[in-house]
Structure 1
Amino acid sequence: MREHHVWVTTRRLQPGTREEFERAWRPAPAPEGLHRAYAYWSEDGQEITGVSLWESREACDTWRASEAEAQRRAAMAPYVVEEREGFYRGRELTLPSAARG
């Protein structure tokens, strides 16, 4: 099974700043080695979890240490109250087929 390299960041935002945060959050251009990225918001729009899939830990670490990422984080900072992040390795789970009756 193929192993995935995943960076997960959850941020609590200042109330009413989600749109401004979104504009600051998206990197341009996309980082090298980034395969996919997803964003998930809480119902109240004050918490956002970003999930990104990378080709390797090294590719993610290179981006995290880059000047472009430092600038992106500085642009997001005025909207962020709290941040948690972590790097994970894992794989896709195979789900059992639905029982047929």
Structure 2
Amino acid sequence: MEEHFVWVTTRRLRPGSLEEFERAWRPAPYPQGLRRAFAYWSEDGQEITGVSFWDSKDACDSWRTSEPEAQRRAHMAPYVVEEREGFYYGRELAVPQR
């Protein structure tokens, strides 16, 4: 099975700020080594979890310490109440067909 390198970030947002947060959240330039990214919102729009898949931990770390990422985080900061993040290794689980 293919191993994945995954960065997961969960942020609790200020009420009513999801739309503004989303505009600030988009990376520019697009990070090198980023394969795929997903975003999942809570029903009330006050929590968002980002899941990104990377070529390697080094590629992710390079982006996380870059100036464009520091600027992106500064743009998001007014909308974020709390943030948790971590890097994981994993693989897709096989789900039996019904």
TM range (shorter): over 0.9
1:22 aligns with 2:28: no
Q: Which residue of 2 aligns with 1:84?
A: 84
Q: Deviations over 1:42-63 (max 9, x none)?
A: 0000000000000000000000
Q: Which residue of 2 aligns with 1:46?
A: 46
Given residue 73 of structure 1, which amino acid in structure 2 is its aligned partner? R
Given residue 87 of structure 1, which amino acid in structure 2 is its aligned partner? F
Q: Which structure has the larger Rg over C-alpha atoms?
A: 1
- Does the Cα contact within 8 Å between 2:12 and 2:82 map onto a contact in 1? yes
Over the aligned positions, Cα root-mean-square deviation in angstroms equals 0.5
Identical pairs, percent = 78
Segments of structure 1 that go 5 or more residues without pairing to the other structure are none
Matched positions, count: 98
Q: Which residue of 2 aligns with 1:4?
A: 4
Segments of structure 2 that go 5 or more residues without pairing to the other structure are none
| TM-score, normalised relative to structure 1 | 0.95
- Does the Cα contact within 8 Å between 2:29 and 2:68 map onto a contact in 1? no
